[in-house]
Amino acid sequence: IAGITQAPTSQILAAGRRMTLRCTQDMRHNAMYWYRQDLGLGLRLIHYSNTAGTTGKGEVPDGYSVSRANTDDFPLTLASAVPSQTSVYFCASSGVPAGGTDTQYFGPGTRLTVL
């Protein structure tokens, strides 16, 4: 069982380019999340999805979009990358929707550098 996988592991991107970070889970979890983690700051929620077909905005959604076409996949897209989006991005999932307190399980992360 892989749990949660993310791709790519790392990426260097020119400002203005479009980029999609991929996230796939095989635990049949209903809820999925995208966070960014920056030095000295806590994990910040970008977008979430309580179940396939629904998405919601987190604390820092600007410049990012998501989709949830099925249970397993939750891609995060940067339409036009900017240097302030340089960060480590973590995808996570949990067994119950965001209206519960189930443990979140994290993918290995994607280290993104925007130049």
Q: Please state, in angstroms and rounded to a whole number, the distance separating the CA atoms of residues 111 and 90.
A: 9
Q: What angle do CA 67, 72, 76 make, to 5 degrees?
A: 35
Contact 19, 77 (CB under 8 A): yes
User: How many residues line the site for another protein (CB under 8 A)?
Assistant: 19
CB atoms under 10 Å from CB of 34, counted, come to 27
Nearer to another protein, 9 or 62 (CB): 9
User: Residue 12 Cβ, how far from another protein at the closest point, in Å?
Assistant: 17
User: Residue 41 Cβ, how far from another protein at the closest point, in Å?
Assistant: 6
Q: CB within 8 A of 39, min separation 6: which ones?
A: none
User: Residue 107 Cβ, how far from another protein at the closest point, in Å?
Assistant: 6
Scan residues 17-46 and list those touching another protein (CB under 8 A).
Answer: 40-45
Q: Please state, in angstroms and rounded to a whole number, the distance separating the CA atoms of residues 34 and 44.
A: 8
Q: Is residue 83 a contact point for another protein (CB under 8 A)? A: no
Nearer to another protein, 42 or 62 (CB): 42
User: Residue 88 Cβ, how far from another protein at the closest point, in Å?
Assistant: 9
In which residue are the tokens 């983690």 written?
Answer: 37
Q: Is residue 87 a contact point for another protein (CB under 8 A)? A: no
Residues that bind another protein (CB under 8 A): 40-45, 58, 90, 98-101, 103-109
